[in-house]
Structure 1
Amino acid sequence: MNTLDVVTFGEPMVMFYANHPGPLHTATSFSRALAGAESNVACGISRLDLRVGYVTKLGNDSFGKFIIQALEHEQVHTKGISLSDTHSTGMLVKSKVLEGDPEVEYFRKNSAASTLSMNDFSETYFSEARHLHATGIPSALSRDCHHFTLTAMNYMKKLGKSISFDPNLRPGLWKDEKTMIDTVNQLAYLSDLFLPGLSEAQTLTGLSNPHEIAEFYLSKGIQTIVIKLGPEGAFYKTGQEEGYVLGFKPDQVIDTVGAGDGFAVGVISSFLEGKPIGEAVTCGNAIGALQVMSPGDMDGMPNRESLEQFMQMQQKKDRSELPTRLS
């Protein structure tokens, strides 16, 4: 019996984001929050009433304790988290902007999460989940983290569990682009549901057209690929169907960070509920739009009621397919 719907792993961090717009070096006051791609997804899925477990290592410090408290507040299971007395918890600082992308600076080198290794892998814990969500970030942190990622994905695949994978390319964390491309593609091929952004997919394949990119990954054994197209929506393709789903227009773009994680939350939760892929992508687009209207990395992640209200409001608008110029 599965006691978890989803298990994920990675590096959650403490984020300090500026309270007033302007260059990061001029900021004088900050607010604190939880950050990290995988923790964003974990919390977002939990808010939709699915059971989520998170696996990581944190420093035995105030930041680590804050992260555990924040995850538990979001009802994310934390028994897969261990504490290190020799490495600290990672952090980041982020500027506030009125438009465009904020400045972000990371302080994560040699963090506790970067020491996640095979010694921290529990077959019992992972087997309790029916789905694994992974990203390309842990493999960029260290060789040990990469081995952990490969082991987790191969183990869940062996058990017949479903796997989603978001490349979340972070070129600054890799020693060179070729290593990044080869490693991330190796992981992508192990997934059932692949969720790259268009620019990420172009980097990973050298192809430009969403149709060609999707065909490339389907030929590698991936069952479903969904390519994020930013505000314009997303393109999906399986062995049986394909299509474009128009994006939702946010009332105001406050912060674009976390939009892709919100998209993943919508697609994965719908996928696990057995919804058709087109509906899953629509849900992903909706949560992505909600997320960019909020200041924090996951402040816009909705609960079930607010998501349904937002989507019902949007359904009153014309939601025809994307224009053929994208095809």
Structure 2
Amino acid sequence: MNKIFFLGECMVELRAIDDNTMEQSFAGDVYNSAVYLQRCFPGIKAGMVTAVGTDALSEKMIQKFHHESLDTTFVFQHKDKVPGLYLIKTDAVGERSFTYWRSDAAARYLMDFLSDDVAGLFKTGDALFISGISLAVITPAARSALWSLLEQLKSRGVTLIFDPNYRARLWSSTDEAITAFQRAFQLADIALPGVEDLEVLFGISNAEAAIEYCQSFGIREIVVKNGPESVLTYANGQLQKHPITPVTKVVDTTSAGDAFNGVYLGARIQNRSISDAVQLAATAAGTVIQHPGAIAPAAAFRAAMVTAGI
């Protein structure tokens, strides 16, 4: 792959420090994955495909993309919209609760900017990552344009990667989500589902069934995240189970799956084995959940990954 792009939404994150203080940063599932990939594998160029506004926070967000060395070729600025925002609180065991303000965010109108001319800038050998959240935040009226774009990119040799990442509140119904997810699975070359996401929508309750379901779409590489204890993979006709040592110190579970995705994909782009990629990705996820917020401090994260063999 030449470059890997992450299509979706980056939001303004507000994290409650105490009853009177909040800390502001930026986060979003595809953005988080891009950051963690780029931090671990600076030789790979990761980029965002998103829309922001022209306001001060949007400008600050773009500056943050540059600070994290992300490609901004496909970061567009909507003259009338602003980024989505969310407030996160965590309990004593690191579990999260969210409040969102995103119903009219700039990222919902991303497809207004992705014309055929823009699509032509993607190259054979590039990769494009989308998630269930990517599908959900784009306005329903524009979703057909997204499918057309993905079909066009796939025909040009762009690798398509899909993580279901189901969030019920973003969909008008489960049927709408099921239809969209099945279409994404049909197009995907690589899938990174979690068992929980597939259980809610498709009644799939274990990793083996998740592999079988994804195989029915002809997906060539499947990575099933099955909670904190194991990962099941399928590629080149080989099924592998990868035990994971759970982390005992959990501060904030935000972005664990995103970190896993980014580091796994980076390792695979560098032609590391699936087993090595899974272990590195699990270390990344385990490191992230020991820090508050979606994006762990760069120094602490890099130190942990160097120890893991990056």
Matched, 1:293 2:293: no
Show CA shifts across 1:58-112 (max 9, x none). 1211221121011110010113112122112111111133214121111001111
User: Structure 1: which amino acid aligns with 2:34?
Assistant: A
Q: What is the Cα deviation at residue 147 of structure 1?
A: 3.3
Matched, 1:270 2:262: no
The worse-fitting range, judged by mean Cα deviation, of 84-93 and 204-213 is 204-213
| Residue of 35, 58, 62 corresponding to 1:43 | 35
Partner of 1:68: 62
Q: What is the Cα deviation at residue 226 of structure 1?
A: 1.0
State the distance in 2 between where 1:88 and 1:133 align. Answer: 23
Give SS of 2:181's match: helix
Conserved? CA contact 1:57–1:112, under 8 Å: yes
User: Structure 1: which amino acid aligns with 2:171?
Assistant: W
Show CA shifts across 1:167-209 (max 9, x none). 1111101000111112112112211111111111223332323
Conserved? CA contact 1:271–1:280, under 8 Å: yes
State the distance in 2 between where 1:253 and 1:72 align. Answer: 30
State the distance in 2 between where 1:80 and 1:86 align. Answer: 18
State the distance in 2 between where 1:139 and 1:60 align. Answer: 23
Q: What is the Cα deviation at residue 289 of structure 1?
A: 0.7
Q: What is the Cα deviation at residue 248 of structure 1?
A: 3.2
Matched, 1:18 2:12: no
Q: What is the Cα deviation at residue 251 of structure 1?
A: 4.6
Matched, 1:125 2:121: yes
Change over 3 Å in CA distance of 1:295–1:237 after alignment to 2: same
Partner of 2:76: 82
Partner of 1:185: 182
Give SS of 2:250's match: coil
Extract unaligned runs of 5+ from structure 2.
none
Give SS of 2:105's match: coil
Alpha-carbon RMSD across the aligned residues, in angstroms, is 2.1
Partner of 1:138: 134
Change over 3 Å in CA distance of 1:184–1:214 after alignment to 2: same
Extract unaligned runs of 5+ from structure 1.
21-26, 313-327
Change over 3 Å in CA distance of 1:119–1:53 after alignment to 2: same
Number of residue-to-residue matches in the alignment: 304
Show the 5 A alignment for 1:137-286. Answer: 137-141=133-137, 142-286=139-283
Give SS of 1:243's match: strand
Conserved? CA contact 1:15–1:33, under 8 Å: yes
Partner of 1:315: none
% of aligned pairs identical?
A: 24
Partner of 2:110: 116
TM-score, normalization by structure 2: 0.91
Partner of 1:23: none
State the distance in 2 between where 1:31 and 1:150 align. Answer: 37
Q: What is the Cα deviation at residue 239 of structure 1?
A: 4.5
User: Structure 1: which amino acid aligns with 2:10?
Assistant: P
Change over 3 Å in CA distance of 1:305–1:152 after alignment to 2: farther
Conserved? CA contact 2:124–2:156, under 8 Å: no
Change over 3 Å in CA distance of 1:96–1:303 after alignment to 2: closer
Matched, 1:57 2:51: yes
Q: What is the Cα deviation at residue 9 of structure 1?
A: 1.4
Conserved? CA contact 1:228–1:234, under 8 Å: yes
Conserved? CA contact 1:197–1:229, under 8 Å: yes
Conserved? CA contact 2:124–2:158, under 8 Å: no
Change over 3 Å in CA distance of 1:249–1:211 after alignment to 2: closer
TM-score, normalization by structure 1: 0.86
Q: What is the Cα deviation at residue 118 of structure 1?
A: 4.8
Change over 3 Å in CA distance of 1:118–1:150 after alignment to 2: farther
State the distance in 1 between where 2:78 and 2:22 align. Answer: 27
User: Structure 1: which amino acid aligns with 2:5?
Assistant: V
Partner of 1:320: none
Give SS of 1:120's match: coil
Change over 3 Å in CA distance of 1:7–1:102 after alignment to 2: same
Give SS of 2:246's match: coil
State the distance in 1 between where 2:122 and 2:239 align. Answer: 32
Show CA shifts across 1:218-257 (max 9, x none). 1211012111112112111234111211223325101001
Change over 3 Å in CA distance of 1:257–1:148 after alignment to 2: farther
Change over 3 Å in CA distance of 1:208–1:166 after alignment to 2: same
Q: What is the Cα deviation at residue 145 of structure 1?
A: 4.6
Conserved? CA contact 1:287–1:300, under 8 Å: no
Partner of 1:107: 101
